[in-house]
Amino acid sequence: MTGILLRNIRPLGGPPVDLAIRDGRIGAMGEGLSADGLTVEEGDGAICVPGLVEAHTHLDKTVMGMGWYANAVGTDLRAMIDNERAERRRLGLDVSRQAMRHALALVGNGTTHVRTHVDVDTENGLDGLRDVLSLRDALRGVLDIQVVAFPQSGLMIRPGTAELLDQAMAMGADLVGGLDPCAVDRDPKGHLDTVFALADRHGAGVDIHLHEPGEMGAFSLELICERTRALGMAGKVTVSHGFCLGMPDARRTGALIDGLAELAIAVMTTGAPSREVPSVPRLRARGIRMGAGCDGVLDTWNPWNRPDMLDRARIVAQKNNMRSDADLAAVLDLCSSGGALAIGVGGHGLALGAPADLALLPGETLAAAVARGGPVLMTLKRGAVTARHGKALMEAP
């Protein structure tokens, strides 16, 4: 058996066709295709979209399956960071097991690509990163995982962290992470010089958490643009969250957005309901590559997030007041092909010859799929079925 015939699926919610997959790629699409040695899977008129892309999460943090985590820490960022570091030990959080649970839940919900930030700090060292790199290998053919070495506890305020990040990159992490150069690290120049120097040395991209609001965040963003330009790193830099881009002054944010566009800096959003957030329609209209993510899921940070990009699409749509069917289709694109471009994966789509990384969704239209949510009917990775009815075929630990 060399492939699969998906019978009666609707690409992007359009008219029903059959889709033939050979050697892991989309080989043909049309009415009444011959099965001809292919395994037939009945689509029953399901919507077919490029596999969902989780562009911002933390696979090393979830307590999924470990019983309910009672959160009493409040909402201060530094307190949440310190709480997590302490709780990792107290709970005996096994990153290998937990990351696998999280990753397979994502697969069950239609995901084919993930970018995950993984904590690197002087207390937990590189253990979690090593575990997630192993997971990346173990899930090859099921889920593509990009790993960001992430100084969650700060970089300049915790000497030794830069060296750990350097080792993390040598071990095979894909990108160098960063975090609130002013608000957390208290040394924007030091922080960003270090992050960009590491990226430059390893020929890697960067993805920086920027929660800083208003003018503080705008300042950090300017420093990020300056370094991106100086190092010739256009197209290799990502800003996650970017709450400052949602501040009310549209002229000010317009200048910032122009800077991002010029340097092809990507922006990841979670559509955080309680914060000002970058406007999805505005940034995309300006040509900014954007992705969306569920962020950490069932962890010591917050109880609401789910490992589910359809759920996230609804949250992003609500936050951006995107109501029309066209709007919701755009949000779904943000969570699949658009997100793939944002994390630097080209060719993720329904073109002939593209890798058969697909999700079959319930619903009459793309908008209905976002509004009503899962369970996702089927996930395929490189032409192999990886999940059915919301559940990954690979058993979670």
Which residues contribute to the site for its own copies (CB under 8 A)?
67-68, 70-75, 271, 273-274, 298, 301-304, 314-315, 317-321, 323-326, 328, 363-365, 367-368, 370-371
The whole-angstrom separation of Cα 1 and Cα 245 is 50
- Among residues 300 and 386, whose Cβ is nearest to its own copies? 300
- Per the CB < 8 A criterion, the answer to whether 277 and 246 are in contact is yes
The first and second tokens of residue 332, run together, are 């779904």
Pick between residue 46 and residue 317 the one whose CB is nearest to its own copies: 317
CB of 40 to its own copies, least distance (A): 28
Angle at 168 between CA 140 and CA 121, to 5 degrees: 120
Greatest Cα pair distance, the chain, in angstroms, is 63
Confirm if 157 and 82 have CB atoms less than 8 A apart: no
Structure tokens at 3: 């492939």
Instruction: List, in sequence order, the alpha helices (H) in the chain.
Output: 77-91, 95-108, 127-138, 161-171, 188-202, 214-230, 250-262, 280-285, 309-319, 325-334, 337-342, 366-372
Please, which residue, 8 or 365, has the CB nearer to its own copies? 365
- Give the residue with the Cβ less far from its own copies, 14 or 273: 273
Task: For residue 121, give the nearest of 149, 93, 94, 97 by alpha carbon.
Answer: 149
State which residue, 67 or 232, has the beta carbon closest to its own copies: 67
Helix, strand, or coil (residue 147): strand
Strands, sheet with 175-179, edge to edge from the N-terminal-most edge strand: 52-57, 111-119, 144-150, 175-179, 205-210, 237-241, 266-269, 290-292
Instruction: Kindly state the smallest distance separating residue 113's Cβ from its own copies, in Å.
Output: 25
Closest CB 334 distance from its own copies, rounded Å: 15
**At closest approach, how far in Å is the CB of 90 from its own copies?**
17
Pick 79 or 351: Cβ nearer its own copies:
79
For Cα atoms 284, 286, 288, give the angle at the middle one, nearest 5 degrees.
55
Taking the complex as a whole, the smallest distance from the CB of residue 373 to its own copies amounts, in Å, to 9
Q: Which is nearer to its own copies, 136 or 319 (CB)?
A: 319
Q: Quote the tokens at residue 75.
A: 């909402």
Instruction: Provide the CB-side half-sphere exposure for 130 (13 A, CA).
Output: 8
Q: Supply the minimum distance, in Å, between the C-beta of residue 151 and its own copies.
A: 23
DSSP-derived pairing of the beta strands 25-30 and 3-11: unpaired
Pick the closer one to its own copies by CB: 240 or 320.
320
Q: Shortest distance, CB of residue 183 to its own copies, whole angstroms?
A: 16
* Shorter beta-carbon distance to its own copies: residue 345 or 366: 366
CB of 120 to its own copies, least distance (A): 24
Least CB distance from residue 303 to its own copies, whole Å? 4
Q: Is 304 helix (H, G, I), strand (E, B) or coil?
A: coil
